[in-house]
Amino acid sequence: MLACLLQSEWNEKMLLLFIMGLAAEGSVGCPKSCICASDLLSCVRKDLKQVPPNLPAASVSLDLSHNGISQLHNNWLFGLPRIHILRLSHNHIRWLPSRAFHNATTLQHLDLSFNYLQGIQEELFEHLNNLEELLLYKNSITRVDYGAFIHLSNIQKIYLSWNNLTNFSFNAMQNFTNPNLRTLDLSSNQFLKLPVEEVSSLPAFIKNGLYLHNNPLTCHCSLFALFIHWDHRGFSSVVDFYKQHTCRYMGRPNVVVQILQAQKGLDNCSVERLYRLPEAGLRVLVGKHVMITCNTSLPLDNTTYMWITPTYDFIMPPGNSNQSLRIHQNGSLEISKAQTWNSGIYVCIAVNRRLSYNSTHEVNVSVHYPKHDAESFNTGITTLLGCVVSLVLVFIYLYMTPCRCFPCCIKPPQPPSPPHESSGQSTLCGTPPATEVPNNRKASRHVVFLEPIKERRWEKKAKVLQLKIDSDSSSSVFSDSPIVYT
């Protein structure tokens, strides 16, 4: 009985020690200055200068905001395989290494706002395939590389407002690289001019959430036409900030015009002209692929698409016979290896039978050569023309040189020659004049076989002479001195 009691007490002690061990094990890895609660890790306002070591591997949310962190190391998230939310706002980060987020493949929310970042390189977010929200506002960003967001296939919101951007690669988002993007905030930057054609070519779901207000834009007709069209289509980016869309008249900072309220008063921009401006335009180099999006508000379900080319050819899915033009499931038209004859206005017609509604969209495509190729082409043309002119001058010199002895070329009138007379001999220049014969009798020299025989009494003599000529050597027939008779 006593043995059983002692055995039960020993089991209880062992169980208590086991529980205490588990508790101690669970507390290992939580930094002293942070708060750990289940899979949440908060280190807010702890005056941290660097990321604490030994972060709990089970953390799903990590908040390091409102500290003094100035740099992050490559692969610093290697020990957090389950991280979904990362907040690094209100720190002193000026630069990020290319592999800072290399291991955060499960990351969905990344907040880097209120720092001192100056640029976003292309490979920085390369492995964040599951990222949905990216907060980069209130930094000092002046440059965003062309493919910085091209790998974010699940991104929904990108906030880049309150930076120092003067340009942005809108072309990188034209080919549905970010099909889930619904908010792209570029407001309150330093844009002086917008590439209206590139912006117009973006898919409608991106333009609906493309915020461009509070930028020092210069007023011009294309800019007015862009925002007026967005206003009539009811895009949230314009409707929600109606009065904040302004521009500077003639680039003067002290003359600010509200675009959506003063479009009738801008010089040389009538309302009719604004609505006739093409909505979209694409520029592509010769030989490159181009994707033209069909920007309509119709859903993809139960919607069919058709395109009309600049040559008025109707392109139905899947495309034309030689596959140079192909229509994708989302209505986009792909031109493979574009050539100059592919330039012109393309019209997309979208029809949704379930909604009994159709919509059209126009895109102006311009195919051009690179500048250096154009210069080489012009140089080649100039060289070719120079060669042609040189050849013409050579031919003129060889075959059309005028006679140097002009008086010698003037021939006295001669009787008509018979049909069998050689044209080469009749036009010879420099034939010696007739000489005088003895007894002061003038004699005219005649070629025997060319002189017409008028009297019968000369027939016999002529025949004899002709036979004599035939009996001579062939060289006498082709001699330069003619055979004459008197």
- Residue 332 is part of a domain; what is its CATH number? 2.60.40.10
User: pLDDT digit string (tens) for 236-257?
Assistant: 999 999 989 999 887 787 888 8
Over range 203-211, report the average pLDDT: 87
Q: Does one domain contain both 70 and 196? A: yes
Task: Check residue 53 and give its pLDDT.
Answer: 87
Number of domains observed in the structure of the chain: 3
Task: Check residue 407 and give its pLDDT.
Answer: 56
Share of the chain above pLDDT 70, in %: 68
> Cα–Cα distance between 360 and 377 in angstroms, integer?
38
- Does residue 432 lie within any of the structural domains? no
pLDDT category at 76 given cuts 50, 70, 90 is very high
Q: Does one domain contain both 55 and 177? A: yes
Q: Does one domain contain both 50 and 129? A: yes
Q: What is the pTM of this model?
A: 0.57
The average confidence (pLDDT) of the chain is: 75
Domain range for residue 47?
A: 38-278
Q: Is the distance from CB of 295 to CB of 207 less than 8 angstroms?
A: yes
Over range 115-122, report the average pLDDT: 95
- Does residue 356 lie within any of the structural domains? yes
- Does residue 109 lie within any of the structural domains? yes
- Does residue 24 lie within any of the structural domains? no
* pLDDT at 228 > cutoff 70: yes
Q: Does one domain contain both 250 and 328? A: no
Over range 301-326, report the average pLDDT: 83
- Does residue 429 lie within any of the structural domains? no
- Does residue 14 lie within any of the structural domains? no
CA 108 to chain centroid, in Å, comes to 32
Domain boundary among 371, 398, 418: 371
